[in-house]
């Protein structure tokens, strides 16, 4: 479970533990992971998912303790909070390294464990931003588009090998890294903000139903379809109305 130290990841870890999963909680902040591990009877791994060598070391240590895995949740992610022309180049690189490549490195490193544990599951926490691009969140959105393509491609590749890849696209969720209620403009978008626990419940139902690609809340799906049909119009409207 990556990005388990706060927000959606911590909520998913609690929900999974409630269903009897033993979770290995992975993130960079040990001080945040340890109390959660005590609460859910889980294990802690401190790791930066954007650092491929660190991910490989961590996966080797986890697979030593747990040779067969039932589930990998790729959830670690960071916001960009600005457009391509304003955001510092280093942050643009970091957003891509964590949000997109982090999941790639984790899947590759944990794959032997998933194969030994099959039928196994991978949940990629992507975003509505992976399907809708608009100017104020360009770099973040680009990283999530890449993560979505990764998730869709590996779903096809791994299904015949007994590993089910699920893409979960949340809309606006109030968390530490994404304090949506304070950055969103008032009105429709602010009212649509949900809690991390709602995403966690959704992930449990995705695992039960075996859904391949979902939105939470489900009514975001038409936005994704609309952007595919009329990208300029939807991007302009969303960019103008979403943020303060
Ligand atoms: N909140 C939203 O509106 C929203 C909407 C759609 C999708 N999402 C996605 O949901 C996921 C979780 O975000 P959140 O809203 O729950 O935000 P959050 O509360 O800030 O949680 C992000 C988690 O990712 C971890 N993380 C960040 N960089 C990392 C790195 N380099 N290596 C390992 N772990 C790292 C953080 O832990 P450490 O800092 O301890 O490493 C933290 O546990 C992200 O992928 C985000 O893009 C969020």
Secondary structure element (H or E) that encloses residue 57, with its range:
helix 52-65
Q: How far is the CA of 111 from the centre of ligand 1 (A)?
A: 22
Question: In the structure, which protein residues have their CB atom closer than 6 angstroms to any atom of ligand 1?
Answer: 2-9, 27-29, 32, 48-50, 75-78, 98-99, 125, 127, 170, 172-173, 175-178, 180, 196
Q: What is the CATH number of domain 7-242?
A: 3.40.50.720
For a mutational test of ligand 1's pocket, the pick from 1, 2, 3, i.e. the residue with the most ligand atoms closer than 8 A to its C-beta, is 3
All structural domains of the chain with their residue ranges: 7-242
Q: Is the pLDDT of residue 58 over 70?
A: yes
**Overall average pLDDT of the 75-95 stretch:** 97
**pLDDT given for residue 41 in this prediction:** 98
Q: Of the residues 100, 140, 220, 243, which is catalytic?
A: 140
Q: Is the pLDDT of residue 180 over 90?
A: no
Q: Is the pLDDT of residue 176 over 80?
A: yes
Residue nearest (by alpha carbon) to ligand 1 atom 30: 48
- The CA distance from 4 to 143, in Å, is 20
Q: How far is the CA of 76 from the centre of ligand 1 (A)?
A: 4
Instruction: State CA 19 to chain mean position distance.
Output: 20
Q: Is the pLDDT of residue 119 over 80?
A: yes
Residue nearest (by alpha carbon) to ligand 1 atom 46: 77
Mean pLDDT value across the chain: 94
187: left (phi over 0), alpha (psi -120 to 50) or beta: left
**pLDDT given for residue 242 in this prediction:** 67
Q: What is the DSSP letter of 173?
A: B
Q: Is the pLDDT of residue 173 over 70?
A: yes
232 or 162, higher pLDDT: 162
Which atom of ligand 1 is the closest one to the Cα of 180?
3
Give the residue ranges of DSSP H helices in 66-101: 89-96
Looking up tokens 């030994």, which residue turns up? 116
Which atom of ligand 1 is the closest one to the Cα of 51?
31
For a mutational test of ligand 1's pocket, the pick from 49, 76, 133, i.e. the residue with the most ligand atoms closer than 8 A to its C-beta, is 76
Q: What are 123's two structure tokens?
A: 């949940």
**At what angle are helices 52-65 and 102-116 packed, to 10 degrees?**
20
- The CA distance from 227 to 238, in Å, is 10
Q: Is the pLDDT of residue 238 over 90?
A: no
Q: Is the pLDDT of residue 235 over 80?
A: no
Considering the chain, what percentage of its residues have pLDDT values greater than 90?
83
Q: How far is the CA of 42 from the centre of ligand 1 (A)?
A: 19
Task: Spell 33-47 as b/e; 16+ CB within 10 A means b.
Answer: beebbeebebebbbb
Which atom of ligand 1 is the closest one to the Cα of 193?
3
Alpha-carbon torsion 237, 171, 28, 144, what sign?
negative
Model-level pTM?
0.96
**Overall average pLDDT of the 21-33 stretch:** 98
**Overall average pLDDT of the 101-126 stretch:** 98
In sequence order, what are the beta bridge partners of 46?
A: 27
Which atom of ligand 1 is the closest one to the Cα of 8?
16
Of 40, 11, 2, whose CA–CA distance to 176 is shortest?
A: 11
Q: Is the pLDDT of residue 237 over 80?
A: no
Please confirm, yes or no, whether 140 is among the known catalytic residues.
yes
Q: How far is the CA of 114 from the centre of ligand 1 (A)?
A: 23
**pLDDT given for residue 241 in this prediction:** 64
Q: Is the pLDDT of residue 98 over 70?
A: yes
Q: Tell me: the pLDDT tens digits for 204-234?
A: 999 999 999 999 999 999 988 988 898 888 7
Burial of 207 (0-12, 13-18, 19+ CB in 10 A): buried
Task: Spell 140-166 as b/e; 16+ CB within 10 A means b.
Answer: bbbbbbbbbebbbebbeebeeeebbbb
Neighbouring C-beta atoms of residue 189, cutoff 10 Å: 17
């Amino acid at each position: 479970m990556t990005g388990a130290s706060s927000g959606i990841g911590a909520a998913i870890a609690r929900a999974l533990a409630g269903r009897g999963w033993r979770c290995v909680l992975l993130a960079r902040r040990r001080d945040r992971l340890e109390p959660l591990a005590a609460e859910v009877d889980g294990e802690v791994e401190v790791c930066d998912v954007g650092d491929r060598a660190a991910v490989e070391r961590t996966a080797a240590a986890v697979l030593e303790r747990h040779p067969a895995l039932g589930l990998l949740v790729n959830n670690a992610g960071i916001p960009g909070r600005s457009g391509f022309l304003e955001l510092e180049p280093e942050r643009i690189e970091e957003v891509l390294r964590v949000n997109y490549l982090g999941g790639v490195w984790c899947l590759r490193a944990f794959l032997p464990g998933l194969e030994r544990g099959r039928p196994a599951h991978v949940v990629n926490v992507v975003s509505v931003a992976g399907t809708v691009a608009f100017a104020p969140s360009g770099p973040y959105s680009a990283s999530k588009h890449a993560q979505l393509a990764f998730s869709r491609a590996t779903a096809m590749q791994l299904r015949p090998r007994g590993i089910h890849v699920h893409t979960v696209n949340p809309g606006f969720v109030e968390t530490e890294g994404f304090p949506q209620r304070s950055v969103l403009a008032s009105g429709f978008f602010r009212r649509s903000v949900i809690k991390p626990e709602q995403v966690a419940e959704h992930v449990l139902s995705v695992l039960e139903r075996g859904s391949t690609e979902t939105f939470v809340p489900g009514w975001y799906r038409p936005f994704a379809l609309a952007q595919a049909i009329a990208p300029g119009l939807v991007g302009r409207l969303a960019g103008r109305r979403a943020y303060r």
